[in-house]
Structure 1
Amino acid sequence: MKTTGNNIDRRVRYAGEYFQRDRAMHPPAYTPIYKTSVTRSPQKALLSIEQSLSELTGPMFNHNDIGPLDHDMILNYAQDGEPIGQRIIVHGRVMDETGRGVPNTLVEAWQANAGGRYRHKKDTYLAPIDPNFGGCGRCLTDEDGYYFFRTIKPGPYPWRNYINSWRPAHIHLSIFGPSFTQRLITQMYFEGDPLIDICPIVNTIPDKDAIRRLIAPLDLNASIPLDCRAYKFDIVVRGRRSTLFENRLEGN
């Protein structure tokens, strides 16, 4: 897709309105209760670098980039039946800090299956692989920034942070936004999960309101009777009140 000079000007003006991040709300990169942050966190002071034109424009996506079943993780990997688990819809809006919807934004999702296991060669959890569930999908936001996809509710799984640590059920989300500086990778949790309060990763976040915004409430108004429940998860890209990164501060 070609981008005209006027489109570039419009996108630069839009991106130039980003607000500074509120570092008091976001988790510090070095949080020893989340053990892998000790080796992942920066060892030197962070730098502020002026944004270039290439960072303030693109990438651009359209419906030609999306397959007909990309948004439906119940069907997009099914081989000889549908996957096992609770059928759900995840939906919401991708917005900037002023509440404006961000249109034509690629939203990618990946997750464990209903037993808590990822379809990945390095996942050795004893839960079985579901032959009909791939665990990944994607969709585009509409003109108002609205997105939705169907999937199976993921299960929690153990991990070696402490001897008996368990991750809450969650879905990973990648959102591109209208420019590279708006790229966001985050996690969505589910309302009512008791593991959220004791998760070491969640507890790196100092702002309780920020934690609340990572938890998707049940939305029966968007559910399909006798079929699937719905969870609503709004996402804010860039700025002081942006949805949080996965223990990473760069780029936000």
Structure 2
Amino acid sequence: MNPESEFLQRDPAAHPPAFTPIYKTSVLRSPRLPLWSLQNSLSEMTGPVFAQGELGALDNDLVRNHAQDGGAPIGERIIVHGRVLDGGARPVPGVLVEFWQANAAGRYRHRNDRFEAPIDPNFGGCGRVLTDAEGRWHFRTIKPGPYPYRNRVNDWRPAHIHFSVFGAGFAQRLVTQMYFEGDPLIPHDSIIATIPDPAARERLVARLDLGASVPLHTLAYRWDIVLRGRRSTLFENKLQGN
């Protein structure tokens, strides 16, 4: 996430090709012409700078940050935690990590979501957190549910949480999604299937972490975000490689 770092060539062995007909949306979204490499402006490479004081006290608690007075969201409470690391396994502090997700019934709080599952009035489904000096981050939420989507006749998305990771500039925003260990829908998902490298797919799966769970209250999952190197996290918008 160093603004002076050179971009690396995309690794086609790990990253999915732009045109993957098994995920039919890619048919229209894939570029018809070669991509252009544009010079970033100074403002894109030097800002924004995020401070802890800009975040609210409940920004990383999705169980409470949208709950009405006396209410609580429905579903399994979980903790998701991890670290943001560079290619040398060194912690990256001060990174803004944003996350958004469907509710326990598999529905997003978005006007374009037409899934017939109910909207939870006590669950907003989004939050954010800054990494600490050791690159650590965590948040509490409701485990999202799967949902159908119009790809093949009976395609369902596994439970997942979307992530955005901000570096030192607007040009360093990375986007990906995280899945849960043991989800039986993962092997059947057409979007995950666009990733050719099985090891890269596995790096998107959070592992159950009983050591970080709260006894009699909340299970925990751990998922580290690695920015570069051989074990880097696969980012959906990181077309220049890892």
- TM bracket (short chain): over 0.9
Mark the CA change 1:41 to 1:248 in structure 2 (over 3 Å): closer, same or farther: farther
Letter in 2 for 1:24: A
Letter in 2 for 1:157: Y
Distance 2:212 2:6 in 1: 33
Which range is displaced more, 36-45 or 237-246? 237-246
Q: How many residues matched? A: 241
* Corresponding position of 2:11: 22
How many angstroms does 1:247 deviate by?
6.6
Q: What TM-score, normalized to structure 1?
A: 0.89
Distance 1:23 1:179 in 2: 26
Letter in 2 for 1:237: L
How many angstroms does 1:239 deviate by?
5.4
Deviations 1:68-106, CA, capped at 9 Å, x for gaps: 000000000001311111100000011121212111111
Matched, 1:57 2:60: no
* Corresponding position of 1:237: 227
For the 8 Å contact 1:112–1:135, the answer to whether it is kept is yes
Partner-residue secondary structure (3-state), 1:197: helix
Mark the CA change 1:13 to 1:96 in structure 2 (over 3 Å): closer, same or farther: closer
For the 8 Å contact 2:9–2:240, the answer to whether it is kept is no
For the 8 Å contact 1:219–1:231, the answer to whether it is kept is yes
* Corresponding position of 1:78: 67
Letter in 2 for 1:139: V
* Corresponding position of 1:90: 80
1:132-211 to 2 correspondences below 5 Å: 132-211=122-201
How many angstroms does 1:13 deviate by?
6.2
Distance 2:129 2:210 in 1: 22
For the 8 Å contact 1:113–1:135, the answer to whether it is kept is yes
Letter in 2 for 1:124: R
Which range is displaced more, 13-22 or 51-60? 13-22
How many angstroms does 1:55 deviate by?
3.8
For the 8 Å contact 1:19–1:240, the answer to whether it is kept is no
Distance 1:241 1:42 in 2: 27
Matched, 1:42 2:34: no
Partner-residue secondary structure (3-state), 1:70: coil
Mark the CA change 1:14 to 1:250 in structure 2 (over 3 Å): closer, same or farther: closer
Matched, 1:128 2:105: no
How many angstroms does 1:238 deviate by?
4.5
How many angstroms does 1:20 deviate by?
4.3
For the 8 Å contact 2:83–2:223, the answer to whether it is kept is yes
Q: Which runs of 5+ in 2 are unaligned?
A: none
Partner-residue secondary structure (3-state), 2:114: coil
Distance 2:89 2:9 in 1: 16
Which range is displaced more, 127-136 or 241-250? 241-250
Distance 1:52 1:115 in 2: 43
Q: What TM-score, normalized to structure 2?
A: 0.92
* Corresponding position of 2:90: 100
Mark the CA change 1:13 to 1:135 in structure 2 (over 3 Å): closer, same or farther: closer
How many angstroms does 1:21 deviate by?
3.7
Mark the CA change 1:245 to 1:142 in structure 2 (over 3 Å): closer, same or farther: same
For the 8 Å contact 1:102–1:178, the answer to whether it is kept is no
Distance 1:184 1:169 in 2: 20
Mark the CA change 1:239 to 1:19 in structure 2 (over 3 Å): closer, same or farther: farther
For the 8 Å contact 1:108–1:138, the answer to whether it is kept is yes
Letter in 2 for 1:216: A
For the 8 Å contact 1:21–1:239, the answer to whether it is kept is no
Distance 1:27 1:198 in 2: 16
